[in-house]
Amino acid sequence: MNLDSIDDWVRTQYTSQVTPDLDGNEVTLFGWVQEVRDLGGLRFIILQDREGTVQVTIPKKRVSPEVLTKSDALQKRFSLGIKGTVKKTNMTKRGVEVVPSDIKIFSTATEQLPIDITGKTPANIEARLDARPLDLTLESSLAAFKIQHVALQAIRSFLFDKNFMEAHSPRIIASATEGGAELFCIDYFGQKAYLAQSPQLYKEELTLSFENVFEVGPFFRAEESHTRRHLSEFTSVDVEMAFANADNVMELLEQTINHTVSVVKEKCQTELTLLDHTLEVPTLPLRRLTYTQVLEDLKAQGVDIPWGEDITTDAFRVLGKIYPGFYFITDWPTHAKAFYIKPQDNNPQISEGFDLMYGYIELTSGGTRICDKTQLIERLKEKGLNPDSFKMHLQAFDYGMPPHAGWAIGLERLTMILTGIKNIREVTLYPRDRIRLTP
C-alpha cells in the first residue's frame, strides 16, 4: 500500500468539536480507525482521536473513486487524515457525521490486534499492560488519564496561588531518605548510590530559601508488596511549608483536595460518566481521628490492635467501612513514623504525624518536621540509622532551619479515588512493580 504524506493538511477540529452547529462546513480531522462497517451502499468509519470519536459516512455512489478506493483498504488503527463536510443527522448518537471528500492513509496496523480497541470485549490487566500503547487508546483509559491531567493541573494552580514555588530535586542520592530496606541500589561510577524514595530531605532544606515549596515527580521504592495499590515507581506530589506545623499543612491539604475534586467534577463530567463514577466534593473540615480513637473504633468492630502497633490492611478495610470518605488519622506513635517527624513536646511517645485516608486507602502522609539538629540526630539513632550517612543534610540545620511541616500525595492513588478505578496499574502509564519491568 502506498502511504500518504501529511503535506499542508492542518487539523481544524478534534472529533469532539464536530457538532451539528457545523452543518455544511468543511473540516480536516486526524485520527485512527476504531471500526469499519459496511451496509450495502454505505460504509461507516468510526474515527477516533484523543478527544473522542465521530462517524465518517461514505455513500459509495456519491464519493469520488479515489475516496472509495482508499476506504476499501481501511482496517482498525490505520492512521488517517479526513477532509469532508459536516452533516446533521438523526442517525448517530451525537447527531452529526462527516462525508469525506479526501482521505489520506498515513500508516497501517496489524490485522490481528492483541486487545479489542472498542472495549466491547474486555481483556485482563496483564494482556492490557503487555499492549499498553494500544490499551491507552481505549476511551476508558483516555478518560482516566484526562482526569489525572486535570487533577494535577488543579493542584499545581492551587499551590501557585498559595505562593508555593515548584522545585525539582535529584533522583540519584547517596543515602536513604526514609530509612528502611525499600531502596534500589545503583552503581554510580563505582560508588554505591540509590534511587530516591522521596524528595523529603531536599524539600526540607529548600524551606531555608524558598520557604513554601512543592515538587511533582517520580520516586522509587523496592516494594515487595504486590497489591492493587502498590508500585515500585510512583508519582508523588510533595509539599513543604516553612514556619508551619502539622495543623497548618493539614488545612492546606484538605483545601487542596477539596479544590482538586471540585475542578475534576466540573471539568470532567464526560469522563466520569464514561467511567460510571460519581464524584462527591468533600465537606471541610475533614474528619480528624486520633490513632487512639481509631484503635477504639476497630476494637468495637472486633479488631483488637495493641497501642503502638501498625494498623494492618485488613484493619484498614474495616475502618474504611466505618469512614468511607476522606478522613485524617493524627497523633501516631512516634516510633511508627519516619525519623524526621517531630514528637509532641508534652508527650514524646506521640508524634505530630498524620495520614490522610480515603476509606482504607492511605492517600497522604505528613506532619511537623524536626527542626532541631540535636533532636534529629537522636531520632536517627533511635531508628537505627547512622547520622554520618546524613551529614550533608544535617549541616543544613546549622543555617537557621525554620519550623516546617509538609505532606506527600500519591498521584496514582489520588487518581484511583477520582476515577473509581480499583487497580493502581490502570492509572499508571507504564507501571513498574515487583514482577513488571516492561513495556
Q: Is 72 in the same domain as 186?
A: no
CA–CA dist 132, 108 (Å, integer):
18
* 71 within domain boundaries: yes
State mean pLDDT over 408-421: 98
| Predicted local distance difference test score (pLDDT) of residue 227 | 83
CA–CA dist 20, 88 (Å, integer):
5
* 7 within domain boundaries: no
| Predicted local distance difference test score (pLDDT) of residue 14 | 98
From 56, 90, 107, give the residue that closes a domain.
107
| Predicted local distance difference test score (pLDDT) of residue 224 | 82
The CATH number of whichever domain residue 38 belongs to comes to 2.40.50.140
State mean pLDDT over 52-77: 96
* 149 within domain boundaries: yes
* 252 within domain boundaries: yes
* 97 within domain boundaries: yes
| Predicted local distance difference test score (pLDDT) of residue 225 | 78
State mean pLDDT over 200-205: 97
Contact 333, 351 (CB under 8 A): yes
Given a cut of 80, whether residue 178 has pLDDT beyond it is no
| Predicted local distance difference test score (pLDDT) of residue 191 | 94
Place of cell 474515527: 47
Residue-wise over 101-140: b if at least 16 C-beta within 10 A, else e? ebbbbeeeeeeeeebebebeeebeeeebbbbbebbebbbb
* Cell, residue 233: 515507581
Q: Is 101 in the same domain as 158?
A: no
The CATH number of whichever domain residue 226 belongs to comes to 3.30.930.10
Mean pLDDT of the chain: 96
Instruction: Give the pLDDT confidence of 350-401 residue by residue, as tens digits.
Output: 999 999 999 999 999 999 999 999 999 999 999 999 999 899 999 999 999 9
State mean pLDDT over 409-432: 97
* 222 within domain boundaries: yes
* Cell, residue 17: 468539536
99 CA to centre of own chain: 38
List C-alpha distances in Å: 237 to 152, 256, 320, 376: 9, 11, 23, 24
Q: What is the largest CA-CA distance in the chain?
A: 86
| Predicted local distance difference test score (pLDDT) of residue 166 | 98
Contact 55, 92 (CB under 8 A): yes
| Predicted local distance difference test score (pLDDT) of residue 59 | 97
CA–CA dist 23, 44 (Å, integer):
18
CA–CA dist 371, 345 (Å, integer):
13
Query: Does residue 359 sit in helix, strand or coil?
Result: coil
* Cell, residue 323: 469512614
H-type alpha helices, 162-225 = 200-206
CA atoms within 13 A on the CB side of 18: 37
List C-alpha distances in Å: 22 to 10, 53, 91: 18, 16, 16
| Predicted local distance difference test score (pLDDT) of residue 181 | 65
Higher pLDDT pick, 64 / 224: 64
Q: Is 102 in the same domain as 182?
A: no
Place of cell 508534652: 346
Instruction: Give the pLDDT confidence of 280-309 residue by residue, as tens digits.
Output: 999 999 999 999 999 999 999 999 999 999
State mean pLDDT over 266-279: 97
Contact 354, 389 (CB under 8 A): no
Place of cell 457525521: 97
- The answer for residues whose C-beta is within 8 angstroms of residue 114's C-beta and 6 or more apart is 123, 127, 130, 131, 134
Q: Is 91 in the same domain as 143?
A: no
Total count of residues recorded for the chain: 439
Q: Is 195 in the same domain as 300?
A: yes
* 173 within domain boundaries: yes
CA–CA dist 165, 162 (Å, integer):
9
Burial class (CB in 10 A: 0-12, 13-18, 19+), 4: middle
Read off the pLDDT band of 179 (50, 70, 90): low
Given a cut of 80, whether residue 75 has pLDDT beyond it is yes
| Predicted local distance difference test score (pLDDT) of residue 175 | 76
Instruction: Give the pLDDT confidence of 204-217 residue by residue, as tens digits.
Output: 999 999 999 999 99
Q: Which residues pair with 232 in a beta bridge?
A: none
Q: Which residues pair with 242 in a beta bridge?
A: 404
* 121 within domain boundaries: no
CA–CA dist 365, 169 (Å, integer):
19
CA nearest to 420, candidates 147, 155, 134: 147
CA–CA dist 72, 13 (Å, integer):
25
Q: Is 142 in the same domain as 193?
A: yes
Instruction: Determine the residue type at 165.
Output: M
Instruction: Give the pLDDT confidence of 227-271 residue by residue, as tens digits.
Output: 888 899 999 999 999 999 999 999 999 999 999 999 999 999 999
Q: Is 305 in the same domain as 214?
A: yes
Q: Where are the beta strands (DSSP E) in 144-232?
A: 165-166, 172-173, 185-188, 191-195, 212-220
Q: Is 263 in the same domain as 349?
A: yes
Q: Is 326 in the same domain as 258?
A: yes
How many domains would you assign to the chain?
2
From 88, 107, 126, give the residue that closes a domain.
107
Q: Is 161 in the same domain as 295?
A: yes
Q: Is 415 in the same domain as 288?
A: yes
Contact 50, 142 (CB under 8 A): yes
Q: Is 297 in the same domain as 239?
A: yes
Structural domain for 44, as ranges? 15-107
